[in-house]
Amino acid sequence: MKKQKFIKLFLLALLIIPIISACSSQTAPFNSKEKLGSQVNYTITGIDAGAGIMSSTQTALKSYGLEKNNWQLQTSSTAAMTSTLDKAIQDKRPIVVTGWQPHWMFTKYPIKFLKDPKNVYGKAEHINTVVRKGLKTDKPEAYTILDRFHWNPTQMSKVMLKVNDGMDPNKAAKQWIKANPKLVNEWTKGVKKVHGQSLKMTYVAWDSEIASTNVIAQVLRNQGYKVTIQAMEIQPVWASIATGAADAQVSAWLPKTSGLFYKDYKGRFEDLGPNLQGAKVGLAVPKYMTNINSIEDLKNK
């Protein structure tokens, strides 16, 4: 290339590159002086459409006046959301995601929940065990164990992290059971062994539910049940219990996240109460977005 031509191209590049990067602000690191909305395309990165956190976020967009400011919620999947979050954090870019705990995203990434002064997502949640009517008389041993099943967020996170590291969920469940004999014994103490009775559980393939369903299913297998677990959308999970097509599910995030299904199917299931306390749902951002601390800040900053 002639020297003169090279210089011309070089000068052109100098001119064009800043223009391009100014247009695609999405690739730029977070800037606390610039309006947040325009830095993230007024987009909250969400998960699958059926999740309670998605309908709560739609409510949040309205209650906080974000919708009329062009904010929108993007539907994807947990895997797509966490991979977008991963990439954003690597480049220190701004991002707003739907977040919940227990989940490994809070262990793996420096993220924080945004304050929710209008209490759209509720303060704390618990996860309940829900069984079909009649289970108590048909399969009293399973009923007792399901009724006693409870653990805490740290214990659930241990299983989730292993699965996230690539371990088969059933193997992770078996390892966890082996490492926690005292707690598991609290659930099974004095319960008669059974011999190959079948038991069906349904769940949604969210990381928390993969962990809990695999653990309790394996405990019931150790008791002698032939347990099948089937993943599906949230609404059919509730329907499967209401119609008696399935025996139990351990994924009822309450009072808000699964609250609509709880209300819709009320009277057609038996609620065995919380299997986990101290869950939380909301919007989350990386900690380096230091001036963004409340959902209100999405609109104002």
Binding site for ligand PBE (CB under 6 A): 47, 51-53, 100, 206, 208, 253, 257-258, 281
Which of 263, 229, 274 has its CA nearest to residue 130?
274
Query: What whole-number distance in Å separates Cα of residue 279 and Cα of residue 253?
Result: 8
Query: What whole-number distance in Å separates Cα of residue 247 and Cα of residue 139?
Result: 9
Query: By C-beta, is 83 or 300 nearer to ligand PBE?
Result: 83
Query: By C-beta, is 214 or 258 nearer to ligand PBE?
Result: 258
| Residue 19 CB partners (closer than 8 Å, separation 6+) | none
**Minimal distance in Å, beta carbon 252 to ligand PBE?**
9
DSSP classification of residue 130 = E
Other beta carbons less than 10 A from residue 117's beta carbon: 11
**Minimal distance in Å, beta carbon 106 to ligand PBE?**
12
**Minimal distance in Å, beta carbon 297 to ligand PBE?**
22
**Minimal distance in Å, beta carbon 47 to ligand PBE?**
6
Query: By C-beta, is 151 or 206 nearer to ligand PBE?
Result: 206
**Minimal distance in Å, beta carbon 3 to ligand PBE?**
60
Strands 43-45 and 125-131: unpaired
| Residue 205 CB partners (closer than 8 Å, separation 6+) | 231
| Residue 106 CB partners (closer than 8 Å, separation 6+) | 99, 284
Query: By C-beta, is 36 or 250 nearer to ligand PBE?
Result: 250
Ranges of H-type helices in 149-280: 153-164, 169-179, 181-188, 207-222, 234-242, 259-264
Query: By C-beta, is 143 or 262 nearer to ligand PBE?
Result: 262
Strand, coil or helix: what is 266? coil
Query: What whole-number distance in Å separates Cα of residue 57 and Cα of residue 45?
Result: 10
**Minimal distance in Å, beta carbon 285 to ligand PBE?**
17
Query: What whole-number distance in Å separates Cα of residue 167 and Cα of residue 165?
Result: 6
Query: By C-beta, is 220 or 281 nearer to ligand PBE?
Result: 281
Query: By C-beta, is 144 or 258 nearer to ligand PBE?
Result: 258
**Minimal distance in Å, beta carbon 125 to ligand PBE?**
8
Decide: 201 and 243 in contact? Cβ < 8 Å. no
- Tokens for 74, please give them: 């993007």
